[in-house]
Chain A
């Protein structure tokens, strides 16, 4: 009884979320803002796999986002102007980067892991900064085209929004499958206690590496979509502040929930857009919000929503 009521409520919540996401671009001040929220929602969700589920505080996720963005952009600008192969190249290269960074960092835990990921991300940043011939350096990679896919005219902002939405919904579906699988349960186990998980026969490092690569894959996809959305790749996509932003979105939204970070991205980008109309120092206000979240409600937006839903029963 309770189970069926719960799942009914779940279905209602999910379908209203999907409906809302379809109408969303008509509710935001301009369409590109809705698309940007989607891109960061995907990025934050992929980051949540690492932070929320595996308990690894990576401070270098800008690397995979930025590498996805640059690879997709460079493919479109310099190699072959076709969207799907460019996105595919983006996720492949960012997954390989995650394999590389992950392999060298997961053996460290705690603050050392965090610092190693940050160091690698900054290394990629400076490479992009110096290698102007390939990346455009400080100016970013300019003039990323949005070639049509068959009848899909991606130069239309609203079409692009739905194109991005398709990938985001697909990724969330896959993400949910991952976290509810035995693999996902093992990740939660090792987040809670590494020694115990090893003692029942799991190669903990292997699991950490796999989830890191999966996260790199989706971060790279978010980056590639970001390049399409902006028509260029900003150098800042690789900068550590981007890593910081995704940490904040995930924590404010509620880590370990997948949907929480999506809400975190929504809340933060929307607020930033509104606040920056009034003041340059929106970072200050974002900082206050972040502190409020960490001190006041540890579970983030998602925990508040969960409590409310329960109260409504």
Chain B
């Protein structure tokens, strides 16, 4: 589904991703773990074309993403929920949800299903994005991507700063997204949450993939967790 091969990305002169290679297959929920500044978010931004890689290849299905612009990549079915509560503060909740406005577009989840899984949004449809709490904004950011016709969803630390019951909610939503046959690539700092939801893990360390493994192995491998993540 998604295959990165030797991806090198720079911010100006600083070399952030130093040859990242990994693969996420159909039906998988995979994570990118690692300490702050390891290059997790940059990996997502490179896939999305927001920070285009200098070298390497990113295949989505059979199509090369490197060289495409973000809006083209998005319309091929890549959904991206960036790190900072990625909503539009001056638009209402409903306007945020309808923002990908192409008429009669295909949606992964219809609004009814969105309201079922995000009941809090239904109550606040006509509130502006700026009037939502942090947790509600995060829910809205995730919900908005689910209204698009996506095949792969990338989330950048969706649980950051959320109350424990909201983290549980997001876990449930991720499982439901998986049932919709959407591949999920999750960037996380919260290792326990990652182990609870994911099928396999990749650890980025200094711009390279330092570890990859299935959840069954990784979940019990305290040594790896301590070495790279400091848990």
Q: A196-B82, A201-B148 are in contact. Are A189 and B99 (CB under 8 A)?
A: yes
* Distance, CA A203 to CA B95, complexed state (A): 18
Q: B99 contacts A200, CB within 8 Å?
A: yes
Measured CB to CB, the closest approach of chain A to B202, in angstroms, equals: 22
B90 x A188 contact (CB < 8 A): yes
| A195 in the interface (beta carbon within 8 A) | yes
Indicate if the CB atoms of A196 and B71 lie closer than 8 Å.
no
The proximity string for A residues 190-202 relative to B, scoring 1 for CB distances below 8 Å and 0 otherwise, is 0011011011111
* Binary per-residue interface labels of chain A (84-123) against chain B in the complex, 1 for a CB within 8 Å, 0 otherwise: 0000000000000000000000000000000000000000
Chain B residue at minimal CB-CB distance from A207: B71
Q: How far is the CB of A83 from chain B (nearest CB, A)?
A: 38
- Nearest B-chain residue to A192, judged by Cβ: B88
- The listed residue (A185, A189, A198, A201) touching B50 by CB distance below 8 A is A198
Q: Could you tell me if B144 and A200 are in contact, using CB atoms closer than 8 angstroms?
A: yes
Indicate if the CB atoms of A199 and B101 lie closer than 8 Å: no
Asked if B148 and A185 sit within 8 Å, CB to CB, the answer is no
Are A199's CB and B99's CB within 8 A?
A: no
Point out the residue from B80, B101, B145 that lies within 8 Å of A182, measured CB to CB.
B101
Query: How far is B70's CA from A195's CA once the two chains are assembled, in angstroms?
Result: 8
- A202 to B88, Cβ gap below 8 A? no
Partner of B71, one of A192, A193, A203: A203
Q: How far is the CA of A204 from the CA of B74 in the complex (A)?
A: 12
A3 to chain B, nearest CB (A): 9
Closest A residue, CB atoms, query B144: A200
Most A C-beta atoms less than 10 A away, residue of B99, B144, B145: B99
B88 touching A198, Cβ below 8 Å: no
How many chain B residues touch the partner (CB < 8 A)?
22
Who on chain A is nearest to B141 by CB?
A196
Interface residues of A: mostly helix, strand, loop or mixed?
helix
Query: Once the chains are docked, how many angstroms separate the CA of A263 from the CA of B71?
Result: 37
Q: Which of A182, A185, A188, A199 contacts B70 (CB 8 A)?
A: A199
CB B41 to nearest CB in A, in angstroms, measures: 12
Determine the chain A residues whose CB is within 8 A of the CB of B95 once the complex forms. 185
- Write out the residue numbers on chain A whose beta carbons fall within 8 Å of the beta carbon of B99: 185-186, 189, 200
Contact present for A192 and B101 (CB under 8 Å): no
B101 proximity list for chain A (CB < 8 A): 182, 185-186
* B91 engages A189 (CB within 8 Å): yes
Question: Which residues 176-230 of B have a CB within 8 angstroms of A?
Answer: none
Contacts of A199 in B (CB 8 A): 48, 50, 70, 74, 80, 82, 86
Please classify how large the interface on chain A is, using the bins under 10, 10 to 19, 20 to 34, 35 or more. Answer: 10 to 19
Q: Which residues of chain B are within 8 angstroms of A202 by Cβ–Cβ distance? A: 71, 74, 100
> What residues of B have a CB within 8 angstroms of the CB of A188 in the complex?
88, 90-91
Chain B residues within 8 Å of A203, by CB:
69, 71
Q: Is residue B89 within 8 Å, beta carbon to beta carbon, of the partner chain?
A: yes
A200, closest chain B residue (CB): B100
Question: Are A193 and B86 in contact (CB-based, < 8 A)?
Answer: yes
Complex contact B82–A195 (CB within 8 A) = yes
CB pair A198 B71 closer than 8 Å: yes
- Residues in A neighbouring B86, C-beta threshold 8 A: 193, 196, 199
The reply on B36 being an interface residue by CB < 8 A is no
At the interface, yes or no: B131 with Cβ under 8 Å from chain A? no
21 A-B interface contacts by CB (under 8 A): A185-B99, A185-B101, A186-B99, A188-B88, A189-B88, A192-B89, A193-B86, A196-B82, A196-B86, A198-B70, A198-B71, A199-B74, A199-B80, A199-B82, A200-B74, A200-B99, A200-B100, A201-B75, A202-B74, A203-B71, A204-B71
User: A interface vs B, CB < 8 Å?
Assistant: 182, 185-186, 188-189, 192-193, 195-196, 198-204
- Since A196-B82, A199-B48 are in contact, a sample of 15 more A-B pairs with Cβ atoms closer than 8 Å, ordered by chain A residue number, is A182-B98, A186-B101, A188-B88, A188-B91, A192-B88, A195-B50, A195-B82, A196-B86, A198-B70, A198-B71, A200-B145, A201-B71, A202-B74, A202-B100, A203-B71
